Amino acid sequence: MTEEKKVRIMPKGGRKGGAVFPRIALDDALVYAKKLVSKTHVGPQPRDIIYTGVVGAKGGTGDVKISALKQYGFLKGGNKENYSADDLAKRINFAPENEILPLLREAALRPVIFKRIFDAYHGDEISRSKLRQRAADLNVHPDEADTCADLYIATMATAKLVVIEGDRICHVSSIDLLPVVDGIESVGVQKNLNGISDNSFDVAINEEDALQETNAVIEGVGKFSMVPDQNASLKPRSIFNVNINLDASMDVEKLQKQLELLRRYGAI
């Protein structure tokens, strides 16, 4: 007697599988993050308070929004723990207007999928269909690739990492994010972002902008002047520890440009 094989039937409306990405854009996440900072100011709160008082939804919809807040680095907790606002949400909430942009860029590049898409196309002008293809290549479910691409574009636009021109998406170059200024007073080094590769660093310079993704980790602080090589011998140089992680997937041309930039300003 042959036993009939049981077929597992998935419930309707569930997650389709594939790589995880935030299901809300950064703009909406910032609204929830502001509420989160307020609601958890006195201490961590249980899930039902976050459902009702922060994201305004329960069940699956509420969980999707909570997941997005975690991916952007705005919320911590869960796994039988209460929830609270993460450090990035607090810094954005209390930052002066002229210091918010680097923090928005940090949040936009926190989600692993968004970071990997940006790493592939920074400095390039591409189409929406190319973004969709990249999302699919990164194991986003085929039915969700368009949604992922749209949310990526909206999020990068909020952080001013892309400019939208019709169907073309123009990405800011990671090298262009470095302010070229003489007489810089200080360099503040931020720790590596959680959930993304170690091939990136963020350096806040004079509280203005952040250097995004250079496939290197720079540690150390000090006063120095960003001057070309020909004058480097006349200027005091800071002490840096530079660790460069290489792997087969790295773009050699981009790496050469980034190394040349560090060499030009005396960092290596």
Chain segment 65-80, per-residue pLDDT in tens: 999 999 999 999 987 8
Whether residue 261 has pLDDT greater than 80: no
Residue pair 218/242 in contact by the 8 Å Cβ criterion: yes
Q: In the prediction, which pLDDT does 257 show?
A: 73
Q: Is the pLDDT of residue 148 over 60?
A: yes
Helical ranges in the chain per DSSP H:
26-39, 47-50, 59-71, 87-94, 100-108, 112-121, 128-137, 145-158, 252-264
Cβ-based neighbour number of residue 81 at 10 Å: 11
Domains and CATH numbers, the chain: 26-93 (1.10.10.10), 97-171 (1.10.10), 187-264 (no CATH)
Residue 263 pLDDT class (50, 70, 90 cuts): confident
Dist CA 199 CA 241 (whole Å): 15
* 220 has pLDDT over 70: no
Query: Is the pLDDT score of 200 beyond 80?
Result: no
Provide mean pLDDT across the span 145-161.
Answer: 97
The pLDDT assigned to 226 comes to 37
- Alpha-carbon dihedral angle through residues 8, 13, 18, 20, given to the nearest 10 degrees: -140
Task: State mean pLDDT over 75-96.
Answer: 93
Chain-centre distance of CA 206, in angstroms?
Answer: 21
Q: What's the rounded mean pLDDT across residues 78-104? A: 94
Task: Assign 249 a pLDDT band (cuts: 50, 70, 90).
Answer: low
Q: Which residue has the higher pLDDT, 183 or 131?
A: 131
Residue pLDDT, tens place only, 43-66: 999 999 999 999 999 999 999 999
Mean pLDDT of the chain: 75
Does 231 have pLDDT greater than 60? Answer: no
- Max avg pLDDT among 142-156, 182-196, 238-252: 142-156
What are the counts of helices (DSSP H) followed by strands (DSSP E) for the chain? 9, 10
What percentage of residues in the chain have a pLDDT greater than 70? 63
Judged against a pLDDT cut of 90, whether residue 133 lies above it is answered with yes
Q: For the whole model, what pTM was predicted? A: 0.62
**pLDDT number for residue 242:** 59
Output 7 or 151, whichever has higher pLDDT. 151
What confidence score (pLDDT) does residue 202 get? Answer: 36
DSSP state of 135: H
